Amino acid sequence: MVTYVFLLLLSFGLVGCTDNSGVEQRVTGPESVVAGELPKAGQKVTFVELGSVNCIPCRQMQPVMHAVEQKYRTQLKVVFYDIWKPDQRHYADTYGIRIIPTQVFLDSLGKEFYRHEGFLSEELIDMLLKKQGLVPVAGKN
């Protein structure tokens, strides 16, 4: 029962992480980029994930980020910042992060149109992106 309640809270984004580890791990998946970079042709949305590779809900977001990146290809740019790393910590202030993971979605002009704290499922991201006019690549929906 306790496991079920924890998973339920996690799915609603009510469980976050705090920095309690000095262990650094290599991030796989989306590469970090400099904030403010101009979008490429056809790119409609930038999905910024702020978290840490040492945070369990953040780790659970890695395959979700990879899946949506593959599904929407050039229409979507996925960016991951590990805000527990000294050189990326400033992004927590830049984006006003309270807990991790936090997802920030920016339009093609770099204006934030949606923000979520905690784990965010691929299905909910799909609904959000489709509302913004993104279309999954054939065979990826």
Q: What is the pLDDT of residues 60-83, one digit of tens each?
A: 999 999 999 999 999 999 999 999
Q: Say how far residue 70 (Cα) sits from the centre of its chain.
A: 14
Helix extents (H) in 2-135: 2-11, 56-72, 90-94, 122-131
CATH classification at residue 111: 3.40.30.10
Does 8 have pLDDT greater than 60?
no
State the pLDDT at residue 42.
75
pTM of the model: 0.73
Confirm whether 97 is domain-assigned.
yes
Q: What is the pLDDT of residues 15-62, one digit of tens each?
A: 456 443 333 333 333 333 334 555 566 799 999 999 999 999 999 999
Q: How many whole angstroms separate alpha carbon 77 and alpha carbon 87?
A: 21
- In the chain, the number of structural domains is 1
**Apex CA 43: angle with CA 39 and CA 44, to 5°?**
105
